[in-house]
């Protein structure tokens, strides 16, 4: 263990094996830091934070501060971060707001500089947030999602897995899985995340099924309920059905297609 002499690690904080703590960092009593973590200079980890093994927390990141919610009443709430995450300079992750709730980050996530997770956000695994991404309270993000720089997501929005938000995207409705969002149009679906689907190992048949599902959802004039019915009837189990299930479960409404789309080559 390597703790800089100017760091403050309060009695009652739990540090695993081979943890490094940089100059001026602060770890509050009750925080739990996993094996092999590296805590950068002036990073702050408050109580009720659990940091999984092999995470790297860069300078001036703040984990587990109080939620920015006027209804918060100093309840016991939590931040839980998985294994092998990288939290770059100035990242802020706030605790849950209702008693016994948590803000959760999955394994292998990469949060770039000054990105922010508000209370009760839930990230899946292998999520990437570019610089300045803002996720409001209760946002849910699926596995392998990429959010471009300075994208902003309204509270309670869901983002399906393997979706991609372009930089500066403004999102106030649910983003279906496997889709790409415009960065210049509010809630504007640009098409399927073709490159992401290939990299994730989806077969050509699955990509073709998703292309058919996308067209039923956005290009036939059907309302979303009828499009879901058609997808469920016409397409086999797999990603297309996952898309249909996500749309059917939406409470905020689904982001609509906007401008030109990039569906070719799926």
User: Which regions of the chain carry the CATH code 2.160.10.10?
Assistant: 2-138
Phi-psi label, residue 214: left if phi above 0, alpha if psi -120 to 50, beta otherwise:
alpha
Q: Which CATH superfamily is domain 2-138 in?
A: Hexapeptide repeat proteins (2.160.10.10)
pTM: 0.96
3-state secondary structure of 216: helix
The SS3 call for residue 206 is helix
Strand order in the sheet with 256-257: 2-3, 20-21, 38-39, 56-57, 86-87, 110-111, 128-129, 146-147, 164-165, 179-181, 188-192, 256-257
Parallel, antiparallel, or unpaired: how do β-strands 102-105 and 44-45 relate?
unpaired
Q: What is the pLDDT of residue 240?
A: 98
Task: Determine the Cα–Cα distance for residues 213 and 217; give it in Å rounded to an integer.
Answer: 6
Which residues in 20-35 are b (16+ Cβ under 10 Å) and which e? Answer: bbbebbbbbebbbbbe
Q: Which residue has the tokens 């397409």?
A: 235
Architecture of domain 197-257: Up-down Bundle (1.20)
CATH 1.20.1180.10 maps onto the chain at 197-257
Give the pLDDT confidence score for residue 265 in this predicted structure.
Answer: 41
Contacts (Cβ under 8 Å, ≥6 apart) of 26? 7, 8, 43, 44, 45
Q: Which residues of the chain have pLDDT under 70?
A: 259-266
What is the rounded radius of gyration, in angstroms, for the C-alpha atoms of the chain?
Answer: 20
Q: Which of 109, 104, 115 is nearest to 139 (CA)?
A: 104
- Cα 165 from Cα 186, distance rounded (Å): 11
> By C-alpha distance, which of 190, 194, 185, 188 is closest to 162?
194
Name 200's bridge partners. Answer: none
Residues of 132-145 as b/e, b for ≥16 C-beta within 10 angstroms?
A: bbbbbbbbbbbbbb
Q: Tell me, what's the pLDDT at 258?
A: 73
Residue with tokens 């990603």: 239
258 phi/psi in degrees, rounded to 5: -145, 130
Q: What is the pLDDT of residue 155?
A: 98
Query: What is the pLDDT at residue 259?
Result: 55
What integer pLDDT is reported at residue 184 of this predicted model?
85
């Amino acid at each position: 263990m390597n703790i800089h002499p100017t760091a403050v690690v309060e009695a009652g904080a739990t540090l695993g094996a081979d943890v490094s703590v940089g100059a001026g960092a602060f770890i509050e009593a009750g925080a739990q830091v996993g094996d092999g973590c590296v805590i950068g200079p002036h990073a702050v980890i408050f109580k009720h934070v659990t940091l999984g093994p092999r995470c790297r927390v860069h300078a001036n990141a703040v984990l587990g501060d109080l939620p920015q919610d006027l209804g918060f009443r100093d309840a016991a709430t939590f931040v839980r971060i998985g294994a092998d995450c990288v939290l770059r300079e100035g990242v802020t992750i706030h605790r849950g707001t209702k008693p016994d709730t948590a803000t959760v980050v999955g394994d292998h996530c990469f949060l770039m500089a000054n990105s922010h997770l508000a209370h009760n956000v839930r990230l899946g695994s292998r999520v990437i947030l570019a610089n300045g991404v803002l996720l409001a309270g209760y946002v849910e993000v699926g596995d392998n999602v990429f959010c471009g720089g300075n994208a902003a997501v309204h509270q309670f929005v869901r983002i399906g897995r393997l979706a991609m938000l372009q930089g500066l995207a403004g999102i106030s409705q649910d983003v279906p899985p496997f889709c790409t969002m415009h960065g210049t149009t509010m809630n504007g679906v640009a098409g399927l995340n073709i490159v992401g689907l290939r990299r994730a190992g989806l077969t050509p048949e699955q990509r073709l099924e998703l292309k058919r599902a996308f067209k039923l959802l956005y290009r036939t004039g059907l309302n979303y309920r009828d499009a879901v019915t058609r997808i469920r009837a016409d397409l086999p189990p797999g990603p297309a059905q996952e898309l249909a299930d996500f749309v059917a479960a939406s409470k905020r409404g689904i982001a609509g297609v906007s401008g030109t789309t990039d569906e070719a080559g799926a």
